[in-house]
């Protein structure tokens, strides 16, 4: 059922909004259109599976928009989310669903070849706990891939004041700018757990965005950007203990 225009607005960052908009998840021109573009950009940082049982753990998986990319790259795909409705949709797309808080993931240590945290860190109140869990379930030599929103004035302007007025960019009220991510803190937390991050900015193609808004293009390519002040990707490889000792 589509979200009623007469429904009372929810507080910012209320997870219930995802249930309200459940029919929008897999619509390429729907309220979550940009999440499709971001999933494709995230997949570009994921290496092909190195063995038949390679496992990708997708924190904040939503309805499983990363699923076609994970399958193409050869991974078994475990999705972790707190939303029952979204997880049911993710299961329909081949994701093994796990209902849990991203700061308390019920998976063993070092089980994942890849951990993705796509568009989730700007929604969690416990950034250190969520990062610790992402790194805990990642095996040494495994890849961590993140995309999120920076804690800057520019990000608050672009991601809230502007994006929430652009169809397909961000539903109204979906973000609480108080939870946007401090880049230095993120890098420090990951380094504490053996993952040294590389950061790069990310932005939609302006030509593609114009075509999307004119309803001529179903998808928009996300492009690397020099600035990490709004939307950015972060990625790195988890060191093993020998590497950590040699680098200390």
DSSP string, 93-116: TT-EEEE--TTS--S-TT-EEEEE
> Are 51 and 78 contacting, i.e. CB atoms less than 8 angstroms apart?
no
Residue 169 pLDDT grade (very low, low, confident, very high; cuts 50, 70, 90): confident
Cα–Cα distance for residue pair 220/14, rounded to 1 Å: 27
More confident residue, 169 or 122: 122
pTM above 0.85, yes or no: yes
Check residue 2 and give its pLDDT.
41
Percent of the chain clearing pLDDT 90 (strictly above): 82
pLDDT of 1 reads 35
pLDDT, tens digit (0-9, with 9 covering 90-100), for 9-62:
789 999 999 999 999 999 998 999 999 999 999 999 999 999 999 999 999 999
Is the confidence at residue 194, as pLDDT, over 80? Answer: yes
- Give tens-digit pLDDT for 210-248: 999 888 777 899 999 999 999 999 999 999 865 555 555
Tell me the pLDDT band of 141, cut-offs 50, 70 and 90. Answer: very high
DSSP bridge pairs for 79: 58, 97
**CATH number corresponding to 16-247:** 3.40.50.150
**Of 64, 6, 68, nearest to 32 (Cα)?**
64
List residues bridging with 238 in a β-sheet: 195
| Residue 12 burial class via C-beta count within 10 angstroms: exposed 0-12, middle 13-18, buried 19 and up | middle
Task: Please report, for the chain, the start and end positions of each structural domain, with discontinuous segments joined by +.
Answer: 16-247
Helix (H, G, I), strand (E, B) or coil at 198: strand
Residue with tokens 């990319």: 69
């Amino acid at each position: 059922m589509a979200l009623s225009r007469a429904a009372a607005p929810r507080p910012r960052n209320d997870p219930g909004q995802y249930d309200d908009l459940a029919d929008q998840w897999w619509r390429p021109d729907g309220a979550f259109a940009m999440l499709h573009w971001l999933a494709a950009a995230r997949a570009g940082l994921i290496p092909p599976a190195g063995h038949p049982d390679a496992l990708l753990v997708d924190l904040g998986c939503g309805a499983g928009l990363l699923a076609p990319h994970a399958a193409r790259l050869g991974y078994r795909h475990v999705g972790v989310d707190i939303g029952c409705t979204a997880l049911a949709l993710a299961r329909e797309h081949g994701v093994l669903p796990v209902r849990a808080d991203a700061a308390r993931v019920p998976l063993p240590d070092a089980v994942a070849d890849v951990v993705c945290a796509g568009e989730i860190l700007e929604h969690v109140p416990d950034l250190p706990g969520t990062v610790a869990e992402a790194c805990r379930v990642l095996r040494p030599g495994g890849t961590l891939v993140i995309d999120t929103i920076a804690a800057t004035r520019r990000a608050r302007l672009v991601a809230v004041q502007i994006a929430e007025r652009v169809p397909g960019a961000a539903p109204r009220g979906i973000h609480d700018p108080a939870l946007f991510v401090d880049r230095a803190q993120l890098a420090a937390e990951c380094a504490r757990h053996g993952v040294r991050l590389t950061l790069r900015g990310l932005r939609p193609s302006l030509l593609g965005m114009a075509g999307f808004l004119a309803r001529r293009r179903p998808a928009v390519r996300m492009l690397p950007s020099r600035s990490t002040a709004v939307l950015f990707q972060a990625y790195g490889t988890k060191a093993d203990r020998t590497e950590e000792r040699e680098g200390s």
